[in-house]
Structure 1
C-alpha cells in the first residue's frame, strides 16, 4: 500500500458518504489517478477501490495537492495528510472545499462541447478520449467566475454551489455507467418540475469486462429560493402538535394543499418520463416474481430484526395478493428513491431532485423500469415519517399518536388525489399493488432503522400496524 493509500484508508471511512461503515476495510487501492491541474496547487481525480468482506466498492476523491506546510487555515478541516508525491512531501486534501481549484471545474464545463447525455463524441483528431471528460448539454450556456461553497448535510454525495446559479453534484460512490440522475434529468430538461441540467463530468470505469463511461458529477440550476419538502412538512406537524386539540384541517399550518400540488407535480413528471423514455408492462408471471422478491426481503429482514415477526402474516398476505394480480402492470422509468427530502418548494411550485435512485444499488439495477406506484408508495411512507419522527423519545407520544396518524392520513389522501388529478394512475384503484410497494418500503425502513437508528424502529413498525388496521 502506498503512502497515499494508507492516508485514504484512514480518511475515507470517516466521511459521511462512505457506504461501508461497520465493516472492516481489507484493501484500499487507487485504481486510477487523473491529473486535471499540475503545479501548486495541483488537482487530480482519483477512483479508489475499497475491499470489504470479499466485495469491492469504488469512490471518487477530488484530490488537492499543495507543498507540505502551505495548506491555508480555512482548508485544514479538508486535510487528508502529508505524503511524498513526485519526490517531495505534499499535503493532500479534499479539493471539493477549495474554491481556487473548483472554479477550474466550472471553467472546463463552460468551455465543453455540447452533446446529449450518454453520447460520446470522438476526441479531436481521432485520437483516444481524454481520461476525464467535460460535457455540456446542447444549447446550455454555463457562465464562469463564481465562487463555490460545499453544501452541508448530504449523506451520499458532495454538492458545490456556485454563486446563486449552479450546483455541481459529485457522485462519491461510483458504479460503471451513466448515472440515472443525469439521464432522467436530461430527459426532463424542459419540465418546470426539475432543476435545469447544464453539464457533467465523466471518466471510464471498468465493469469487469470493459471500460464504461461513468458519470462523476453533474451541473444543474441552483434552486436558491427553494424550501425543502421535509422541512415544510415537519413545520406543519410541529404547528399541529402545539395545538393538539385541533384537527389537521383546522391547524394553521395545514399541509394538505401542498401535498395535493406535490401529487400533481409527481404525476406530471411520470407522464413526461413515459413520453421521453421506453416503457413496458409486467406480465402476471413477472408480478409473481416481483412478489417473490418482496417475500425474500421480508424473510431476510425478519431474521435480522425479530421485532418484525408479529407483522409477518400481514406482510406476506399483501405480497401474496400482489402475486395473484392477473392484469399486466405498466412500468417505466421512475425516481426510485422518492420522499419529502427529494423535493423542494419554490415560488413557482414543486421541483423534484436527485433522480439517481438508491446509491447503494448498481446503476444497471437503478435504471430498470418500475411501476410509478413505487414512487407514490415512497412518498406516502415519507408522510408517515414526517408525522411520527418528532414523537421519538417524547413523553407526549401516546397522547399525540392519534394526531400523528390523522396528519399522515390527511396528507396521504391529498397527495394521492393530486396524483390522480394530475394524470397519474389512481392510487385508490390500485390498492393491491400500492400496498405491496408500501409494505416493501417499510420492511426496508425496518432494516435501516435497526442498523442505524434503533430509537426510530417504531416508526416503520407502527406504520405497518396502521396500514394493516
Structure 2
C-alpha cells in the first residue's frame, strides 16, 4: 500500500457492476476494498490497536454472510500486516445502506452497485442487523453459510427481540444492549482461538459457583474445525450498576483528601505499615479513621472477598484440562522469564528515549530505574519454581478497578480477555492468582496518586506531604484487602503458599505490573510515569 494513500472524499464513488449479494465475488472490489478503502477507515477507529505501528497492507482473509429472509450483511475477517513484521486480525460486520443519515466517520465508503448508489457502513449501526443476530443467538441457530455458529447460554431467559442500542462510547470492542437485559460484546481484535473472556465467563456460569460476574448468555463463533475457532462475540446478562470501581473509589478518595485538607493535620506524623502486612479493619489506627470513613475500608474488604471467591471458583476444576490447577514447573519459569525480560528491555529503551520529557521527581526516579537495571533484571530472573508450593490457575489476567462494576455496595468482575499486549496463548497460561491481587494493588496505587495529580491545585499540602499520606493510605488499603483475601482462599483449599511464598509472589507480580504500566505511561502521558516508577523504586529499595 502506498504511503501517500489518502482518505477518499465521500463525493467520490467506487463503482462496480455487481449486486450487493454478489459483491464479494468481484475481484476488482476485493482489490480496491483491501488496498484503498479499508486503511483510511480502520486507522481512525478506537478499537484499532496498531496506531503506534506502521501499517503495511490489509488483506481480506475471510468473508461470510449473515442473513435472514429480509436482510443481508457480511462478516469480514481482516489481516492487518505491519512493517515491523507482525500481523493483527480484526472483525468488521458490513452493511449497505442507501440513505445519507450517517456522520462521515461512520461511513466506510460511498459505493455504486449496478447504477444504484449507497454507502458501506459498520452493520452494528443498524437495528435490523442487531435484531437479526440476537434472534439467531436465542434460537441457537447455525448460519446457513460457512461455519458461523450462534449459541444460547444459560443466562439467556428471553425468547424474542424487543429492543437494542449500541453503547454510547466506542471502546476496544463494540457493545450492544438487548432488551435492557443483555450486553453483547463484539470483539474487534480477534484471534484464531477461543477468546479467554468467552471461555472463563462460560465456565463460571456453567459451574455456577461464582455469582459476582455476568452470566454467560450466548456467543457467536466462526468455527473452521475443532482447533481452528474464532470467537466473534460474547453475550452476557446485563449487571445493573452505578459505574466501575475505578470511578467509585476515585470519588471516595477525593472526599478523603478534601476532609484531610479541611482538618489539616500533620500528615507526616502518620506512618505506613509494612508492605504485605495483613490487618483487620479494627486494627486501623484512630488517627487514620478520623479522615477515612470506615465504609471505605469495608468496600475494600468486600472487593477482597469477591476476588478470593473468583479465584476459588477458577481453581475448583478437576476434569476440564483448560481449568485444572497446576503446580509450578521449569517450563513455566522459562516462559515467564523470557516474556518479562523482553518486556523489561523494551521499557529500558523507552525510558532512555524519553528522559528528555521528564523532570523533577519523574526524572530522578527514571534515572534510578536505569541505574538499577541489573537489580531489576536479577529480581525478574530470580524465580525458582522448586521453592513454590502454591497452585497455578486460570486467572483474570488484566485485573484492575476498571474491570469491576459497582452495584449497591457490591462488586461484579467483568472482562476476562487478559493483557492487551499478550498473545492469545500467553493469556491462557495458568498463573498465580496473586498476579490478579497485584493488579488490584497497582490500581489502588494509581487511584491514591491520580487523586493528587488531578486536584493538586486544591490542596494546602506540599506534594511531598500528599505523597506521604498516599503511601500511608495505600499501605492500609492493601493490608485489609490481603487479610480478607488470604483467609478466604486458604479456608477454601486454594493453595497460594504460606507467608514467605505469598510475599515473594506479590512482590514479583507488583514489579511485573509496574514495569508493564511504565510503557503505557511513557507512550501516552509521561507526567504519570511517576506512579509506576515509584512502585518500582519501592520494590527495589525494600
TM-score (norm. length: structure 2): 0.76
Identify the residue that residue 464 of structure 1 maps to in structure 2.
536
Structure 2 residue 330 is the aligned partner of structure 1 residue 330: no
Structure 2 residue 183 is the aligned partner of structure 1 residue 162: no
- Bigger Cα displacement from structure 2, 94-103 vs 304-313: 304-313
Identify the residue that residue 233 of structure 2 maps to in structure 1.
217
| Per-residue deviation, 1:34 | 1.5
Q: Give the whole-Å Cα distance in 2 for the aligned partners of 1:284 and 1:340.
A: 32
Q: Give the whole-Å Cα distance in 1 for the aligned partners of 2:381 and 2:422.
A: 25
Identify the residue that residue 118 of structure 1 maps to in structure 2.
none
Alignment of 1:285-364 (within 5 A): 286-287=332-333, 290-291=336-337, 293-306=339-352, 307=366, 308-323=369-384, 326-347=387-408, 349-364=410-425
SS in structure 1 opposite 2:396?
coil
Q: Which runs of 5+ in 1 are unaligned?
A: 114-122
| Per-residue deviation, 1:364 | 2.0
Give CA deviations for 1:219-272 in whole Å, capped at 9, x if unaligned: 101112343111111112111221223765333555221111111111111111
Instruction: Work out whether residues 255 and 411 of structure 1, in 8 Å CA contact, stay in contact via their aligned partners in 2.
Output: no
| Per-residue deviation, 1:40 | 8.2
Identify the residue that residue 367 of structure 1 maps to in structure 2.
428
Alignment of 1:226-305 (within 5 A): 226-244=242-260, 245=264, 249-251=289-291, 255-276=296-317, 277-283=323-329, 286-287=332-333, 290-291=336-337, 293-305=339-351
Q: Which runs of 5+ in 2 are unaligned?
A: 1-29, 266-286, 318-322, 353-365, 491-495
Instruction: Work out whether residues 60 and 171 of structure 1, in 8 Å CA contact, stay in contact via their aligned partners in 2.
Output: yes
Give CA deviations for 1:299-339 in whole Å, capped at 9, x if unaligned: 33212213231343552353354338623442111111110
Structure 2 residue 508 is the aligned partner of structure 1 residue 436: yes
- Bigger Cα displacement from structure 2, 309-318 vs 97-106: 309-318
Q: Give the whole-Å Cα distance in 2 for the aligned partners of 1:312 and 1:58.
A: 35
SS in structure 2 opposite 1:81?
strand
- Bigger Cα displacement from structure 2, 140-149 vs 221-230: 140-149
TM-score (norm. length: structure 1): 0.87
| Per-residue deviation, 1:92 | 0.9
Distance verdict in 2 for CA 1:217–1:412, change over 3 Å? same
Instruction: Work out whether residues 58 and 175 of structure 1, in 8 Å CA contact, stay in contact via their aligned partners in 2.
Output: yes
SS in structure 2 opposite 1:351?
strand
| Per-residue deviation, 1:196 | 0.6
Distance verdict in 2 for CA 1:414–1:147, change over 3 Å? same
Structure 2 residue 101 is the aligned partner of structure 1 residue 55: no
SS in structure 1 opposite 2:55?
coil
Structure 2 residue 118 is the aligned partner of structure 1 residue 102: no
Q: Give the whole-Å Cα distance in 2 for the aligned partners of 1:250 and 1:314.
A: 40
SS in structure 1 opposite 2:151?
strand
Distance verdict in 2 for CA 1:98–1:332, change over 3 Å? same
Larger Rg: 2
Identify the residue that residue 158 of structure 2 maps to in structure 1.
142
Count of matched residue positions in the alignment of Structure 1 and Structure 2: 451
| Per-residue deviation, 1:344 | 1.2
Q: Give the whole-Å Cα distance in 2 for the aligned partners of 1:406 and 1:144.
A: 53
Alignment of 1:364-403 (within 5 A): 364-392=425-453, 394-395=456-457, 397-403=463-469
Q: Name which of 469, 483, 486 aligns with 1:420.
A: 486
Identify the residue that residue 120 of structure 1 maps to in structure 2.
none
